[in-house]
Structure 1
Amino acid sequence: MSMMKIFNVAGSAVSAQSQRLNTVATNLANADTVAGPDGQSFKARQVMFQTVAMGDQGAAGVKVSQVIEDQTPGRRVHDPKHPQADADGYVTYSNVNAVEEMVNMMAASRSYQNNVEVMNTAKTLLLKTLQMGSGS
């Protein structure tokens, strides 16, 4: 695999994981929000990845194919004094599970870091190869 393909594959993964991290951050920011005036609460979002061919030599990268909303119902808490409570006294919160989102964030962060390390290693090897060719 050529050095440029290594950068392309790792770069595609860094870009995809960056979008995943942004989605997780949005989910965590809305973890304790309540239903808005329309009665709908925030729905957690998940990033879906897709393999992408990178040239004709079998290299494959990744891209975000879509961002989907989790359709599980939000958490309902009985609090009749809350201003957003419904007629039965329940407040509907978002369906974001903070623990799952933290695990998702750690996995995305590690994947991001690993791909940056791949690019740094490829850069170092490329520079050492150029130094050998120059005779220094």
Structure 2
Amino acid sequence: MMDLVKSMMIAASGLKAQGGRMRVIAENMANAGSTAKTPDGEPYRRKIPTFASELDRAAGVERVKIGKIERDTGAFGERYEPGHPAANEQGYVKTSNVNTMIESIDMGQAQRGYEANLNVINTSRRMLNATIDLLRR
């Protein structure tokens, strides 16, 4: 029975981690169209969530959690907009390095990971309830 509880604890940490990943991806998507505010400034820089494992000594399980949120060092885009206050001498404005296609794919993967962890919890819960029912008889 303890193994079922442990599996639920591990899956719950996965739910929390994937939820955090989805929040970071949503922030990236919300800022995808941002531009620099000044000609020498930088627009929003894409954030990349990482995962880390931590040992729960009390339960004897390894859990997953959101690790450090890193910044994508990829190049910014440029858009020709000579009237923009942040345009350089050539009329180009720096745009965010967020690619909404990549973010959409990442969001889909995070959602599938979230659903998989939720299925583990639901299955473990059903198995735990069935075990309890058997022990009552």
Name the TM-score, length of structure 2 as normaliser.
Answer: 0.89
Residue in 1 that maps onto 2:127: 125
Q: Verify the 8 A CA contact 1:5 1:54 in the aligned structure 2.
A: no
Residue number among 75, 78, 81 corresponding to 2:80 in the alignment: 78
Aligned residue identity for 2:41: G
How much has 1:123 moved relative to structure 2? 0.3
The alignment status of 1:92 with 2:57, answered yes or no, reads no
How much has 1:51 moved relative to structure 2? 2.3
How much has 1:68 moved relative to structure 2? 0.4
Q: Given the superposition, is the C-alpha separation of residues 114 and 16 from structure 1 closer, same or farther in structure 2, using an over 3 Å criterion?
A: same
Equivalent residue runs for 1:47-62 within 5 Å: 47-55=49-57, 59-62=61-64
How much has 1:39 moved relative to structure 2? 1.3
Residue in 1 that maps onto 2:7: 6
Name the TM-score, length of structure 1 as normaliser.
Answer: 0.90
Aligned residue identity for 2:136: S
How large is the Cα RMSD of the aligned pairs? 1.8
For residues 129 and 58 of structure 1, the distance between their equivalents in structure 2, rounded to whole angstroms, comes to: 22
Unaligned runs of 5+ in 2: none
For residues 127 and 56 of structure 1, the distance between their equivalents in structure 2, rounded to whole angstroms, comes to: 24
Aligned residue identity for 1:85: A
How much has 1:86 moved relative to structure 2? 2.0
Q: Verify the 8 A CA contact 2:36 2:43 in the aligned structure 1.
A: yes
Unaligned runs of 5+ in 1: none
For residues 110 and 32 of structure 2, the distance between their equivalents in structure 1, rounded to whole angstroms, comes to: 19
How much has 1:132 moved relative to structure 2? 1.4
